[in-house]
Amino acid sequence: MAHNLYHILNFLPATEAWEMPPALEKLAQQIVSSGKLRINADHERNFVRYGTANSDLTFTARELTEPALKTLTHQKVARLVAPAMGEQGIADIWAYLANELKKARGVDVAKEMRVARVLVQAADPAVIQLLSRSGTEIFVSYSHNVADLLPVHEWQGHGMNSGMQATESSGTAVYISCGGDPFFEGTQKTYLTDGFPALARMMVIAGQEIGHFADLRRTASGIIGRHSTDPNHSRLRANPIAAEGRLRDMAHLRRLASAYQVAGLPRLIRAEKRVDFYHTRLRYSPQWFIHQLWRCVVCSLFIYRCTQKKLWFNYKVIPAIRLGHAIEAFLADMAFNLAPEADVYRHPDPQVEEAIAVIEAVARVPQQAHKWGDTAVAIGWPNLHRFYYGTVIGACKQQIKNPLSIEIMSLTQKIIIYLRRHFQTKPGYYP
């Protein structure tokens, strides 16, 4: 049965400065220092909201207190005040925002940097550069949806979303929910998903929503649609190349599933289930050893057949999943994200509905790479993978003109990362 997975990753995201490539650490610092990162960490927030009949604005603590950002914030506040109220009106709003900021309690810099580091790993550096250059507001919530990030009048339409990428005349915004505290350490959890499940969810949803941001078609005159849609049509229609690629990938994924079936995937899954049964109830019993041995035989035969058929079988995810179950989950997850099921994707016009499905599938290429690895996604979705990294990311790099290289990391730093990750006690939010 096709479904979407949020709790797995192909790699451990870097959360501290010592494990970050220097170029990405600099990008993370830029996002934090820009004041555009808005975090709702359960009982703490680093931003406040000011709504009027005509607008709903948010301001971070940095935008209200740091000299480099206060001038622009003052100008925004001034536009909310009727001319007759003058400076006193501005002072009243400023006092209100300062009081709300005290209630918000703030988010410490270390936590802001951890969030920013995860975000810059969720997309190609060129996309993050565009995100930073465009002044896009990034909203991150520890809740299970984005309702607490939205103004009241948007709750009904978008409040239950896990994430959202909004495009308005005034600019763009990215909304991400974590479903828990991604950096939780201890035992008194607020949510069962605190820790690594929330960290994985943040990476996955950020990959998708920033993928939507990357998909925006940018010109000198502004944003004019998406790369995944047809610019030559007056109504919403899918880009023919992306639409055809999606259909081909759906057919390719079905063929891939059939090939795994022939190679012995059902037998391997059954063998793994038997091992799991005895592993839970009678670990190290004679039955457990017998089924472990049988699983090894079946797995070896399956890998041999995959090798003969040139089928990819190196599916490694965190937390670890046995090979048969990993391939089964991969096929179901990849199938779901090619044709996601939700009421919001429905439309009376089948061509509009197809365009929505294509937009979603294209934006989900990076989130699938976070889960399963780039190689696995290129094998499962060869056409959409090529379209996203060729057309979408290619256009983003053209906009930036000087994209960063994250591969430049000194040998000393690589050694430090290896030693600390292997011999230092892992943070509590790692599995």
Collect contacts of 59-63 with beta carbons under 8 A, ≥24 apart. 59/97, 60/35, 60/36, 61/101, 61/104, 61/106, 62/32, 62/33, 62/35, 63/35
Q: Residues 273-277: what's their mean pLDDT?
A: 89
Residues 28 and 162 in one domain: yes
Q: Residues 306-319: what's their mean pLDDT?
A: 93
Q: Nearest-5° angle of CA 399, CA 402, CA 407?
A: 125
Q: At what angle do helices 286-309 and 240-263 cross, to 10 degrees?
A: 130
Residues 282 and 146 in one domain: no
Residues 266 and 284 in one domain: yes
Note the pLDDT of residue 428.
84
Among the three residues 105, 121, 150, which one is the final residue of a domain in this structure? 105
Q: Is residue 18 part of a domain?
A: yes
What does the mean pLDDT of the chain come to?
87
Question: Based on C-alpha coordinates, what's the Rg of the chain?
Answer: 24
The total domain count for the chain is 3
Residues 166 and 270 in one domain: no
Q: How many CB atoms lie within 10 A of CB 47?
A: 25
Residues 146 and 100 in one domain: no
Q: How many CB atoms lie within 10 A of CB 82?
A: 7
Residues 67 and 33 in one domain: no
Across-strand partners of 219?
222
Across-strand partners of 367?
none
Q: 81 with 93: CB under 8 angstroms?
A: yes
Q: Sort residue 86 into left (φ over 0), alpha (ψ -120 to 50) or beta.
A: left
In this structure, of 53-57, 65-69, 155-159, the range with the lowest mean pLDDT score is 155-159
If one compares 62 and 90, the residue with the highest pLDDT of the two is 62
Digit-coded pLDDT (tens) for 25-63:
999 999 999 999 999 988 899 998 887 656 678 899 999
**Sign of the C-alpha dihedral computed for residues 30, 34, 35 and 38 taken in this order:** negative
Residues 178 and 327 in one domain: no
**Domain span at residue 53?**
47-105
- Cα 380 → chain centroid: 19
Residues 254 and 304 in one domain: yes
Q: How many CB atoms lie within 10 A of CB 177?
A: 27
Residues 25 and 81 in one domain: no
Residues 407 and 342 in one domain: no
